[in-house]
Each structure stands twice: as C-alpha cells, then as structure tokens.
Structure 1
Amino acid sequence: MMGAFINEAIQSILNQTLKPDEIIVVDDGSEDDTKAVLKTIKEDTVTVMFQSNTGGASSARNVGISQAETDYILTLDADDIFEPTFMEKALQIMESDNNIAVVGCYYRGFIGNTIDAKIEKPLGGKLSDFLVKNNGLGCSLFRKKSWELVSGYDENMLYGYEDWEFWINILKEGQSMYIIEEPLFKYRTKKNSRDKNAIKYHDYELREYIFNKHKNVYLQNFESFAKHMLYQNSRLRNDKTKLLNATEVKIGKAILLPFRVIKSIFKK
C-alpha cells in the first residue's frame, strides 16, 4: 500500500525550495510492492536502507538518523507530504534562535486528492505545554545533536506516541518548539492508522509509560500539569453534558412524534 505513496513523499522533499543535502529512506519490513518501488529510485541524494520489521517506527527513525551527516533532521512518514517552502522557512527560524529546538507547522489531512478544508493548528511551546497532550507535529525539523543528547527515539514505544515522548525529552532541556502558522504539511488520513490504533487501544498504557519515564519532569512541573488536567477534565465534563442534552432532545422528539401523528389524524 505504501508503495503507491512513497514516491510522492520523496518528491515533496526533492521539490523543496531549499534542497536537502541527503534523503535517507528506511524500509522497515514493508510489503513487496514498496520494496520494488524503492529499488527504482535513482536520485543521487537518496539512500535507501532495508531492515526487518522488528523495531517499529522508533527503530527505523533511529537507524536513518544515525546515518545522517547533516546538522538538521527532518522526519517524514511514507504517505505524507511537505509543501515546497517548509524546509527553507523552518531552517531560517531554527538558525535565528538557539532556544528553538524543534520547528513544526500547521497541517491539513487528505484522502487521495481530496484535501480537508480544516487546518489543524498544533500549539508547540515549552515543556509545560507537552505534559498532558502532544502539542506538536510528529514530522518536524530538529537538530541532530538534540537527538544525540536524548539517545534518540524510545524503541520501547512500539504502539505509538514515540514522537510525543521524544519532544518531551528534548524540551526538558529548556528549549521550545516553534510552529509556523501556515499549513505546510499534509497528513494522509486512513481508516486504520497507527495513530488511531494508539488512541483506541493503547492510550492509557502509553501515557502511563511516558509519565513513569519522566516522573521527575512531571513532579517539577506539578502545578502546570495539574492545571492542564483540571482544564481537560472540565472540557470532558462539559462535552459529556452537551452530548447528553442533545441525546435527550432527540429521544424527546422521537417520543412526541407518534402523539403528533395521532393528533394530526384526529384533526382530519
């Protein structure tokens, strides 16, 4: 399946207004059609690496980044796309401020050639903004030395949220994530994506893992963490109340409908 999209993803990087020094593609045990497509790539700047699917997304990223000889790293999944100006704008921001560790952007979802009109707007920010939820974009620009400092992506996180944990790991050094307020990234939406499965089946265990791994960070930022949790709880309760009220109205209308029909018949 990914074979149908990989060329489009790579081309979105080759089309950048600021050309990359190298593109490293890590095939993590893909299906045969993807391997066949990758073997046809002849670009001088593109290196393709093949490995068995034993380590998951974190392992694949770590393998690729370890081979990179550049100061900056931009990650991209096989079925997603960057707009042509992202790298140029992101690098300019990164080089202008050493306190910025990561640069992401707004993004849109798409299926086939249909692009969602809704623009997703991650907030970025400092460590305190990432304690309760991932306020960043998984595919973003960062320094290789940041990756080295935190020993890369956590390869124990096989079911997802590895990018969220990676941002926490980087930002706990006191830096921040900057978000370009333009939709310069397109995320392919799928019925059964890894992200959706993580939320549906592994959300609690992944959050617990992140909390336990960074417990000192959470304790040091307890007040901020508690406020975020209280706010989230309040929103959930309000949403639940709205849903219950809407359901009650629908049930009420359904019950009244037969009486209105009967009343209408008697009028006749």
Structure 2
Amino acid sequence: MRPKSNVTVIMPCYNDGKYVMQAVHSVLNQTLKPEKVIIVDDGSGPETKTVLKQINFENIEVIHQDNQGVCVARNNGIKLAQTKYILNLDADDYFEPSFIEKAVKVLNEHEEVGVVGCFYRTLKNNKIEQNIIKPLGGSVENFLVKNNGLGNALFRLKCWEQVLGYDEKMAKGYEDWDFWISILAKGWNMHIIQEPLFTYRIKQVSRDSNAMQNHDIELKTYLFKKHQKLYLDNFQSFANQMFYVNNRLKKEKLKSLNSLDYKIGNIILVPFRFLKKWIK
C-alpha cells in the first residue's frame, strides 16, 4: 500500500495544449504520488480542449470555466480539494520526481512552515538554461521589495483559507507575490528546498513578462496599499532593502557605462548624433 501524500495538485490551463501533458506526467511520476490532480481549463481554445479530452487517468479531474484568469481558476480548483496540502503547477511548467516527497516531509515535520518551494531552472527555446535560480523564502520581511518565492509551490490548505484565497482583483499579474505576502503576514514561513526541482518555461509572450513590462508600477502600488500596515510595521527593513536595490542598480549602470562595448558604441554613434543635430 503506497503512502498517502495528502496532496492535491491544482493546474490552471489556458491554451497550453503543447505543454500540459509534460506537466501532468511530472506529477504522475512523483516518488510520492498526489491524491488527486485537478486541471482547470480557463476557457482555452479548441486545440487545448482536444488535448485535455485525451487525459484519462483515474485520479485526474478536468473542470472547465469561461476565461476568468489564473486567480479564479486556482481558487475554483482549490475549493474542490479534500487534502491538507495543495500544490500549484502551471500547465506549461514541471517538477522533478522527488519534489512532492521532499516538500511533504517539510510540512509534516515543521508546523511553522506554511509553504515549500525550491530552487529552479528556466527553459527557453526548448533548452534548459544552466543557471540555477535560488529564491530566498523565509519570513514576510523577505517579500517586501520582491517576490522571494516561487509561484508553483506546496502549501497548506488552511493557509489558503486564512487569506481567503488568491486575490481575484490581481488579474494582470503578481498574484503569487501577493498570496505569499498574505500568508507569511499571518506568521507562517516559506521553506526553500535547496535543489533545482522545478523547471519554469520562458515563452516569448507570457503573463509574467506582460505584467513586468506594462503593469509593474500599477501592481506594486496595489500591493503596497493592500498591505500598507505591514509595510509601515516593517518600514526599516523595507527601506534597507530599497537602499540595497538602488545601490546595486547604480553599480550595474556604472559598470555598463564603463564597459568596452558601450564606449565603442558611443564612438560609432558620434557622427550620427552630429548629423541629427545638423538636420534639426
């Protein structure tokens, strides 16, 4: 008899028919199996719906909704879960086989931990990049300036209940960051397994890149206003982190300005600038 994991995997899917089967197999091939996988089709097109119809495993349920965004999809899937633990997995990403086993062990043994993530690698143009990304995790103080976690992580169902789920107003992005802040502000910690047990797919057009390029200030302003008391209570830590980020950006800019490539490029552009000025 196989050990019970007490894990339900929630997998939102929006037009990810090319990748969803890899995500599905990554959870079915875990050394500690999930009790159930709930795929939430968020109004995908015909090609993805055709792929989803072909998924026929005993412990996988596919539900459908009109396109309402990832927050609504996750919340609707989690409402159906009957396990203590929830694992988020976007339909275009995947976990290594040992993640659930190692993450469940952490939650079972450490009552103060509400969320378990891990180091990860990125997949770009069908090639896994060798750089390992190492989110910090920890307490809420580590999340004031940047998201120091991973959107695809294992967490306690009661954490989701305590914060009333994902904020469905954050349809444009950064909902994971907000979700982790909300949970950690309740006194929970996020544990990071220091192994690259997850692969994040980078696509040319993605919700994450759109959020960063087009809605960054708007979303960060919303986060600050929503958690204003938290930021004020941790003002010194917030300020220290902002000073550090500002100093790092200045150093990177200076390094770029002093680089050989920049100097050569600047010399090449001199006659064009003169011509532009002369034409005006």
In the superposition, the TM-score normalised over structure 2's length comes to 0.88
Q: Does 1:180 align with 2:193?
A: yes
Match in the other structure for 2:143: 130
Q: Does 1:250 align with 2:239?
A: no
Question: Is the partner of 2:200 in helix, strand or coil?
Answer: strand
- Partner AA of 2:60 in structure 1: V
Pairs within 5 Å for 1:5-20: 5-20=19-34
Distance 1:29 1:9 in 2: 18
Match in the other structure for 1:227: 240
| Structure (1/2) with the larger helix percentage | 1
Give the 3 Å change call, closer, same or farther, for CA 252–200 of structure 1 in structure 2: closer
Give the 3 Å change call, closer, same or farther, for CA 251–225 of structure 1 in structure 2: same
Larger radius of gyration: 1
Q: Deviation at 1:252?
A: 6.3
Match in the other structure for 1:197: 210
Q: Deviation at 1:184?
A: 0.3
Give the paired residue count. Answer: 255
Question: Is the partner of 1:95 in helix, strand or coil?
Answer: helix
- Partner AA of 1:184 in structure 2: L
Match in the other structure for 2:9: none
Match in the other structure for 1:78: 91
Match in the other structure for 1:51: 65
Distance 2:212 2:127 in 1: 24
Give the 3 Å change call, closer, same or farther, for CA 10–112 of structure 1 in structure 2: farther
Question: Is the partner of 1:156 in helix, strand or coil?
Answer: coil
- Partner AA of 2:208 in structure 1: D
Q: Deviation at 1:164?
A: 0.2
Q: Deviation at 1:110?
A: 1.1
- Note the aligned Cα RMSD (angstroms): 1.5
Distance 1:239 1:58 in 2: 35
Distance 1:19 1:127 in 2: 30
Distance 1:9 1:80 in 2: 6
Write out per-residue CA displacement over residues 117-141 of structure 1, whole angstroms, 9 at most, x where no aligned residue: 1111111110000000000000000
Q: Does 1:239 align with 2:252?
A: yes
Q: Does 1:96 align with 2:109?
A: yes
Match in the other structure for 1:105: 118
Question: Is the partner of 1:184 in helix, strand or coil?
Answer: strand
Write out per-residue CA displacement over residues 183-203 of structure 1, whole angstroms, 9 at most, x where no aligned residue: 000111111111111110000
Q: Deviation at 1:111?
A: 3.2
Q: Percent identity?
A: 52
Q: Deviation at 1:80?
A: 0.4
Distance 1:59 1:210 in 2: 18
Q: Deviation at 1:249?
A: 2.4
- Partner AA of 1:172 in structure 2: A
- Partner AA of 2:186 in structure 1: E
- Partner AA of 2:264 in structure 1: K
In the superposition, the TM-score normalised over structure 1's length comes to 0.92
- Partner AA of 2:180 in structure 1: W
Question: Is the partner of 1:67 in helix, strand or coil?
Answer: coil
Match in the other structure for 2:74: 61
Q: Deviation at 1:253?
A: 6.0
Q: 2:54 aligns with which of 40, 52, 57?
A: 40
Write out per-residue CA displacement over residues 215-246 of structure 1, whole angstroms, 9 at most, x where no aligned residue: 00000101100100111111111111222222
Q: 2:154 aligns with which of 137, 141, 162?
A: 141
Unaligned runs of 5+ in 1: 257-268
